[in-house]
Amino acid sequence: MKKLLSVLAGLLLCGSTVFAQKMEKEMPKGYEQEKTGIAKGKIDTVLYDSKTVGNKRKTLVYTPPGFDKKKKYPVFYLLHGIGGDHLEWFKGASPQNILDNLYAEGKIQPMIVVMPNGRAMKDDRSVGNIMAPDKVQAFATFEKDLLDDLIPFIEKTYPTLTDKDNRAIAGLSMGGGQSLNFGLGNLDKFSWVGGFSSAPNTKLPQDLVPNPEIAKQKLKLLFISCGDADGLIGFSKRTHDYLYQNDVPHIYYLEAGGHDFKVWKNGLYMFSQFLFKPVDNSSLEQYSVLGTPATTNVRNAKYPQILPDNRVIFKVKAPEAQKVQIDLGKKYDMVKDTSGFWNVTTDVISRGFHYYSLIIDGVAVVDPASETFYGMGRQASGIEIPYKDGGFYALKDVPHGDIRIKKYFSKATNSWREMYVYTPPGYDNATEKYPAVYLLHGGGEDQRGWATQGRTDLILDNLIAEKKAKPMVIVMMDGNFQGGGGPAGFGIQQLNQFENELKNAVIPFVEANFKVSSEAKNRALAGLSMGGLQTLHAGVRNSDVFNYLGVFSSGWWANNTKLSDPQYEFMKTNKDKINANIKEFWISQGGKEDIAHANCQIMMKKFDEMGIKYKYSEYAGGHTWPVWRHDIYEFSQLLFK
């Protein structure tokens, strides 16, 4: 019998979990209006003794429909903003109506809601200069008043459940900051915490959640919401970014609106439906109405937007178009609205940088809302998808090197060419010569790729600051030559042109104009895709010039023996020299989904047969920039040691 009851309890809990998460993503218009024919709660003004302030203070208390003193209820503390008092929610949002309507629809648990005055001082009216230092300080003092005076009063006066799992706190603006500060600062008191349009009083994220693991264990729900046009959105976003990086489950809810009650009413509507029920953390990223504009958008462009679960919302105005698609590796058909805007929300997009195009009536074009990048053999749009483990390429407060753009005349090609050169922090004042990496892009890209799409400078800045990589100069040359591009137009002619340019133009120019060593032990050659083939050709044949080789997402084509057989023959003949000279021969792939994976496996098998020494690494992500960023991050840590 006990076992049967246990099973039934488990089934009921599962049912509650589903119910707790099934809700509208936005409050229906007019929902705060009083409805007839439903049970109503009661809202009263109550006085309590505050030892913290030294007088009696007012608070509103809402008791739910059917309130029964013989039952015990969870409690939700709801805080106002800097210009309000205990009546602000009542006047601006009619919270009792929102709560009554939610009860009538069976969407929230019975609860007591307390709306106090968060300005803990004797004259706590919202009059005069509300920004006066003593009034601002009073909002911080309220933490003591709340914990030592108000909560004990409520729990003595009303039939309440007194454990932390039955206590919630949330607020708007200044009250949102208080709620995050007090709730996250007292995880033994509150399991449910919400901040709506939180104000500048919100502590820095690392102070709010100094120990993410403890927060994960103790929090039932953390809810952060804001309007997309709110000038204070940065305080919510910085908190979200920190929580995201540290894997702390939370809802980050964005909607159309400013710093106003439209947003705050919706915050109450959404947050209250989660309270005091089982929570499915796996679904928390699905609730936001809007996403965050991509960091790769042009200035002030609202779209594309990235939702918390890394789906992307695209919105493009093309009123005369007949068909519009987004090509993001997968093609998505967009839907036209009555205003001439085409809209679509994608599937979840993997982390990091991705090229994309608009296809308007069959023509692939760049998105005017996005920065453009040279890739796929043309200018394309690009989007940066957040990645919680992508701190290695984030802009941080560390010493920064420079990217220098240099024009040089190449006698090898009899033309002016361009290179991008990364110099490490402190380069200009240095007297020593640095080791150099010659870093090659892929087909359809050029010398800009590693600097822009690859974020090579930020990756090296961070590694050097952490002392994980030696300071080095990185030369990003243009590897395109006549007839290059793809298997059909790429062969030994282009490889020889590249080798000639590298040895007789690029290296002499770099060594004449930069503080770099001319010793092989201080030179590395690496490249992705097409650049990997160039590395295999020029690097292996010149192991007395380069003692370090990196081959990313590449490998000799198994079906082009005319190209590959001479390469293997050279390696077989010169095996001892290659093994003796090359200190690190590092080969990497983006997993089985990498288009070069199969060729690379065949190539490495041949290396094994010949006795060529190498190291192999995989990092899932396919034939994409997220993989190659990780490649240069890993490879650079092996160099010159």
**pLDDT by residue (tens digit) across 603-634?**
999 999 999 999 999 999 999 999 999 999 99
Residue 475 reports pLDDT greater than 50: yes
Is residue 377 very low, low, confident or very high in pLDDT (cuts 50, 70, 90)?
A: confident
* pLDDT at position 506: 97
Residue 187 reports pLDDT greater than 70: yes
* pLDDT at position 183: 98
* pLDDT at position 612: 97
Residue 332 reports pLDDT greater than 50: yes
Average pLDDT over residues 495-516: 96
Q: What is d(CA 531, CA 134) in angstroms, rounded to the nearest whole number?
A: 64
Residue found under tokens 């039955």? 166
Q: What 3-state class would DSSP assign to 438? A: strand
* pLDDT at position 22: 64
Residue 489 reports pLDDT greater than 80: no
Is residue 359 very low, low, confident or very high in pLDDT (cuts 50, 70, 90)?
A: very high
Residue 563 reports pLDDT greater than 50: yes
Q: What is d(CA 93, CA 111) in angstroms, rounded to the nearest whole number?
A: 18
- First CA to last CA distance, the chain: 68
Is residue 483 very low, low, confident or very high in pLDDT (cuts 50, 70, 90)?
A: low
* pLDDT at position 87: 97
Average pLDDT over residues 123-128: 91
Rg (CA), the chain: 31
* pLDDT at position 398: 97
Residue 48 reports pLDDT greater than 90: yes
Give the total residue count for the chain: 641
Average pLDDT over residues 199-219: 97
Average pLDDT over residues 116-142: 93
* pLDDT at position 491: 85
Q: What is d(CA 610, CA 600) in angstroms, rounded to the nearest whole number?
A: 15
The candidate with the shortest Cα–Cα distance to 287, out of 198, 194, 224, is 224
Tens of pLDDT, residue by residue over 248-305, are: 999 999 999 999 999 999 999 999 999 999 999 988 988 898 899 999 999 999 999 9
Which contacts of 566-573 are long-range, i.e. CB under 8 A and separated by 24 or more positions? 566/492, 567/536, 567/537, 567/540, 568/606, 568/610, 570/540, 570/541, 571/540, 571/607, 571/610, 571/612, 572/610
The helix (H) or strand (E) run that includes residue 567 is helix 561-573
* pLDDT at position 19: 43
Residue type, 490: F
3-state secondary structure 242-291: HHHHCCCCCEEEEECCCCCHHHHHHHHHHHHHHCCCCCCHHHHHHCCCEC
Q: Give exposure, 103-124, as e/b (b: 16+ Cβ within 10 Å).
A: beeebbbbbbbbbbbbbbbeeb
Q: What is d(CA 179, CA 170) in angstroms, rounded to the nearest whole number?
A: 5
103 vs 482, more confident: 103
Average pLDDT over residues 404-426: 95
Is residue 25 very low, low, confident or very high in pLDDT (cuts 50, 70, 90)?
A: confident
Residue found under tokens 């009034």? 135
* pLDDT at position 484: 47
* pLDDT at position 5: 39
* pLDDT at position 9: 39
* pLDDT at position 102: 97
Sheet holding 292-293, edge to edge: 292-293, 305-306, 311-317, 341-348, 335-336
Check if the beta carbon of residue 112 is closer than 8 Å to that of residue 204: no
Q: Give the pairing type, strands 324-328 and 352-360.
A: antiparallel
* pLDDT at position 482: 76
Check if the beta carbon of residue 590 is closer than 8 Å to that of residue 622: yes
Average pLDDT over residues 449-458: 97
Hey, what are 294's tokens?
């991509």
* pLDDT at position 485: 46
Check if the beta carbon of residue 187 is closer than 8 Å to that of residue 215: yes
Residue 104 reports pLDDT greater than 90: yes
Q: What 3-state class would DSSP assign to 578? A: helix
Hey, what are 313's tokens?
């919302």
* pLDDT at position 61: 98
Average pLDDT over residues 59-63: 98
What's the mean per-residue pLDDT of the chain? 93
| Full-model pTM | 0.82
* pLDDT at position 2: 40
Sheet holding 42-50, edge to edge: 42-50, 55-63, 112-116, 75-79, 167-172, 192-196, 221-227, 251-255
* pLDDT at position 238: 96
Apex CA 22: angle with CA 16 and CA 26, to 5°?
140
- The interaxial angle of helices 2-21 and 261-274, nearest 10 deg, is 170
Hey, what are 66's tokens?
């059917």
Say which residues have a Cβ less than 8 Å from residue 534's Cβ, sequence separation at least 6. 440, 479, 495, 498, 499, 527
